[in-house]
Chain A
Amino acid sequence: MTERDAAAGPPPEQLRYAALLDRGARLGLFVAVVCFAAYAVEILPAGVPFADVPALLKLPLADYLAATGRPTGWGWLRLAGDGEFSSLVGIAILAGCSLLPLAVAIPLYAKRGSRVHAIICVVEIGILLLAASGVLTAGH
């Protein structure tokens, strides 16, 4: 790989990656904040009564899940209409917004002859998908 001149700026795959990551992050933050605001002012229904929230936040995770009936894994998606869970849509976008830039970088790296970095992007996508799938946390 030839070294670029600094005046030419970062390579195209890096610029493309940055642009997509920026859009995903902005979208995720926007969705999370709007949904939380709708939850706080009770436009969206609260899955857990507000009066119970302070006491529930002190509980260990297992006790909290038992007390609220909150689903683990992707079960929250079924309840995304509830205020508490609607913000998780935005949070999931934040946690997943690297996937698209990584996928777009694969052909760009391959085209530049940098197969190693293309493969690293593929494996990183696999790791993120594995973490997001809930397979590793199922059954606990």
Chain B
Amino acid sequence: MVLINRACAHPGRSGIPWALLAGSLILLAVCAAPAFAAGGAEAEPPWWVWPLALFVVSFLLGIVAIPAGVGGGTLFVPIVGGFFPFHVDFVRGAGLLVALAGALSAGPKLLRSGLADLRLGLPLALLASASSIVGALVGLALPAAAVQIALGVAILGIVVLMITAGKSEQPDVAASDPLAAALALHGVYRDTATGEDVRWKVHRTPLGLALFAGIGVLAGMFGIGAGWANVPALNLVMGAPLKIAAGTSSFILTLVDSSAAWVYINKGAVLAVIAVPSVVGMMLGARIGVRLLTVLKASVLRRMVLTLLVFAGVRALLKGLGVWP
């Protein structure tokens, strides 16, 4: 978030991310071509094409997704599920690992810096991780077409949420609710931008817990992580400062995605040939993306991610409906 704010102060060079977007779409079209020709076993590409293509696509997605504040899994699942000829079960298993690896990469740093709060995150993660198991079990029991339709609707819903949901750097919380007080959900962090100590507390904890239970189901069902929902729930509903919300969301994801990932692993839906190149590509891409943020406008990245999400959501929906198989 600090990086995003910093990036806003560096206008210009907006052509670079759009070139990346165009490159990604061309690459996806190339990847989708064999899918259209499915059935022609003799036209099968060599096996190494797929891990290489996954690495490149995940790398490009990592450049734009994580710096734009969207978890890697949110873009990975609909795009790879829509344009690669893999069954959606394997894509969701890999998507959870992409999201988990991203959260594990950022979580410890955020906990050390105080921007993630363990006390705040633990009760929410408890409910979300339990419900993510339910979501994963339900998701793996559903037919692929139903999953694609639901995924398309969910992704387009995320776009609406990203466009309409506001954000509040420092929400005004008059008083903690009794549950928040009992769980000691308050704290203080140092804002490095201003050098000031910011005291915070949360409210509406029962509603927040209920929301996180629902978020966990979606995360497990679609393998898309849940940062897109965690941050608004923490910030806009519970009143956590935006930086604490974003940091604590990463920590929560380490537990939510772990629970759901175990279900996919035990079901045999996590394949190294899909998961490992995707995880490595996404993590390397995110490193480049964080550096690009110093020269690019965050608003441009955000628009690009929204464009990709609309494209991927419509693709998933049409694939599920059989209109664009």
Interface flag for A103 (CB, 8 Å): no
Which residue of A has the minimal Cβ distance to B133?
A131
Q: Is the CB of A91 within 8 A of B129?
A: no
Within 8 Å CB of A36, what residues of B? 272, 276-277
Q: Mark B242-262, 1 if CB is under 8 A from A, else 0.
A: 000000000000110011111
Q: Collect the chain A residues with CB atoms within 8 Å of residue B255's CB.
A: 98, 124, 128
Whether the Cβ atoms of B271 and A32 lie closer than 8 Å is no
- Tell me the interface secondary structure of chain B in the complex: helix
Contacts A1-B184, A40-B48, A65-B268 given; indicate if A95 touches B122 (C-beta within 8 A). Answer: no
Known contacts A13-B118, A124-B129, A131-B133, A54 near B44 by CB under 8 Å: yes
CB distance from A69 to the nearest CB of B (A): 11
Q: Across the two chains, which residue of chain B brings its CB closest to A63?
A: B87
Contact flag A57-B263 (CB < 8 Å), given A127-B129, A136-B133, A136-B137? no
Q: Which residues of A contact B69 (CB under 8 A)?
A: none
A-B pairs, 10 with minimum CB distance: A87-B272, A18-B111, A25-B104, A22-B108, A131-B262, A6-B197, A53-B47, A36-B276, A6-B190, A134-B266
> Using Cβ atoms and an 8 Å threshold, which residues of chain A touch B190?
6-7
A122 to B87, CA, bound (A): 36
The answer to whether B199 and A3 touch across the interface, beta carbons within 8 angstroms, is yes
- Residues in B94-150 with C-beta less than 8 Å from chain A: 97, 100-101, 104-105, 107-109, 111-114, 117-119, 122-123, 125-126, 129-130, 133, 137, 140-141, 144
Residues of A within 8 A of B197 (CB): 5-7
> In residues 40-85 of chain A, which contact B (Cβ within 8 Å)?
40, 50-51, 53-55, 57-61, 64-65, 70-74, 76, 83-85
Contacts of B324 in A (CB 8 A): none
Nearest-CB residue, chain A, relative to B254: A98
Chain A CB within 10 Å, residue with most, of B86, B263, B279? B279
Q: Which residues of A contact B86 (CB under 8 A)?
A: 57-58
- Which of B130, B189, B276 contacts A87, CB < 8 Å? B276
- A1 to B123 Cα, complex, angstroms: 16
Is the CB of B85 closer than 8 A to any CB of chain A? yes
A-B contact pairs, 17 of them (CB 8 A): A6-B188, A18-B112, A21-B111, A54-B50, A57-B87, A59-B87, A60-B89, A70-B268, A74-B266, A76-B268, A85-B272, A97-B258, A117-B183, A127-B130, A131-B263, A132-B266, A136-B137
In the complex, which residues 103-140 of chain A have their Cβ closer than 8 Å to any Cβ of chain B?
105, 114, 116-117, 120-121, 123-124, 127-128, 130-132, 134, 136-137, 140
| A contact patch SS | helix
- Please give, as numbers and ranges, the residues of chain B lying within 8 Å of A72 by CB-CB distance: 266-268
Chain A residues near B (Cβ < 8 Å): 1, 3-7, 9-11, 13-15, 17-19, 21-22, 24-25, 28-29, 32-33, 35-36, 39-40, 50-51, 53-55, 57-61, 64-65, 70-74, 76, 83-88, 90-92, 94-98, 105, 114, 116-117, 120-121, 123-124, 127-128, 130-132, 134, 136-137, 140
- Which listed residue (B50, B89, B188, B258) contacts A3, Cβ 8 A? B188
Contact check, A95 vs B261: say whether CB atoms are below 8 A apart: yes
> B18 CB to closest chain A CB, in angstroms?
31
Which A residues touch B144, using CB under 8 A? 60
Please pick, from A15, A50, A87, the residue contacting B112 in the complex, using a CB distance under 8 A: A15
Answer whether residue B29 sits at the interface, using C-beta atoms and an 8 A cutoff: no
B6 within 8 A of A: no
Contact: A127 with B273, CB < 8 Å? no
